[in-house]
Amino acid sequence: MITIYGFGRVPDLVVGLTRDLRVLWAAEELGLPYQVHALDFETDLRTDAYKEKSDFGQVPVIDDGGFVLAESGAILLYLAEKAGAITAADVRRRYEITRWCLAALSTLEPPMTVLNLLMISRSPDTEMKTRLTQWVEMRLEAIDERLGEHAYIIDETFTVADVLVVTMLRMLGGLGIVEKFANVRAYLARCEQRPAWQKVLDAYEDRLHAKRGAGRRTIPERLAH
């Protein structure tokens, strides 16, 4: 049984956007049995016991029979391999999935995260907001082209790389950016409708004692509350 260290309490503003959801979704899609160890963002992450698991005091972390692994991207690849969705012998497929996990984390996520940070903090730097929006749109344009050819980011099969790409795209909801790209918009809807995601998000909202739907809110909706 894999233990997934996830959140039990976070600020309302980030309900449904935390990184543990990536791991929970992947485990659910892959059919791996898991249990959630719920942490409070304010107290539990700073303990010495938790720093033994995560040098940076971050969520998520997994413990698989004593093997502790941090960083969501590494965890997703590990889980996919454990479940047999990628095999050690199929080097090219493994690195194709690794490549798209990394594209999500290091090519898509940084500008999206900072754009969110500027929106949430109501930064006065409108020039930076404009530049970041253009940067994000350039990325989505490339993805939109791919998604015109395939149902998922690599081909016709949903993989852990899609889990990561979709969690990035979810950050942009309501900002009028995803809406400009028809293939991206359809892909996001297609992935969010997957039963594994709906099940994980419902259980997460229950665990965090959040109202049903809190994790589905867009950034503007969150800021308006």
Residue 183 within binding range of a second copy, rule CB under 8 A: no
Residue 43 within binding range of a second copy, rule CB under 8 A: no
**Would you say 45 or 210 has its CB closer to a second copy?**
45
Residue 3 within binding range of a second copy, rule CB under 8 A: no
Burial of 116 (0-12, 13-18, 19+ CB in 10 A): middle
The correct pick among 98, 152, 163, 181 for binding a second copy (CB under 8 A) is 98
Q: Which stretch binds a second copy (CB under 8 A): 37-45, 67-75, 199-207, 214-222?
A: 67-75
- Indicate the helix (H) or strand (E) that contains 34: strand 34-40
Report residue 123 as tokens. Answer: 């930064």
Burial of 193 (0-12, 13-18, 19+ CB in 10 A): exposed
**Would you say 164 or 214 has its CB closer to a second copy?**
164
Please, what's the largest Cα pairwise distance for the chain? 51
Report residue 5 as tokens. Answer: 């260290």
**Would you say 107 or 133 has its CB closer to a second copy?**
107
Helix axes 20-30, 72-82, angle to 10 degrees: 10
Report residue 212 as tokens. Answer: 């049903």
Binding site for a second copy (CB under 8 A): 51, 55-58, 67, 69-74, 77-78, 81, 88-89, 91-92, 95-96, 98-99, 101-103, 105-107, 109-110, 113-114, 118, 121, 123-125, 127-128, 131, 138-139, 142-143, 145-146
